[in-house]
Amino acid sequence: MSILPIIKLPDPLLRQVSDPIERVDDEVRKLADDMLATMYGAPGVGLAAIQVGIARRMLVLDVGGEGEPDQPLVMINPEIIKLGGAMRSYEEGCLSIPDVRIDIERPSSVEVRYIDRDGELRTLNATGLLATAVQHEIDHLNGKLIIDFLSRLKRDIIVRRFKKQAKDLA
């Protein structure tokens, strides 16, 4: 498994809508393994393929707590079937926008249909942190970022800061 570079704001690729994966093969499984290694190494609880520069509809998650065994979840072509009615606010961070945390209100439960790493169609009913993480990563696949939940002024301040950092590194 390889640790892949995570692209950061203001990289325009983060705004691209990802394309579906036509079939699950060894290449897709290797990408899933590399994404999991990258996510654990970051460390994070989720990672979308677009965050490693690959505009394909795949994400990996593991919301297990510290000291618990790894519980990796690979979702290929995930699709939200149903959102719960109750809302939950959670402070979200993003590996592509380091050191930024934003309180975001999302449905507290979600039903998702996806293909697993073996090519099997699955349905997942998620609640709590898992529901939040699934919605966050699917947003990435649709070109949406956590800063999109902010006012335009706050979002512009963060984008300017990251553009300056990118310019300073260049």
**Residue 1: other Cβ atoms inside 10 A:** 13
- Cβ atoms of 49 and 56 within 8 Å: the answer is yes
79: annotated active-site residue = no
Of residues 22, 27, 68, 137, which has the active-site annotation?
A: 137
The DSSP symbol for 119 reads: S
CA 134, CA 3: separation in Å to the nearest integer? 22
Distance CA 97, CA 155 (A): 12
* Cα–Cα dist 35/58, whole Å: 10
Burial of residue 73 (number of CB atoms within 10 Å: 0-12, 13-18, 19+): buried
Q: State how far the Cα of 79 lies from the Cα of 123, in Å rounded to an integer.
A: 9
Catalytically active residues, by annotation: 137
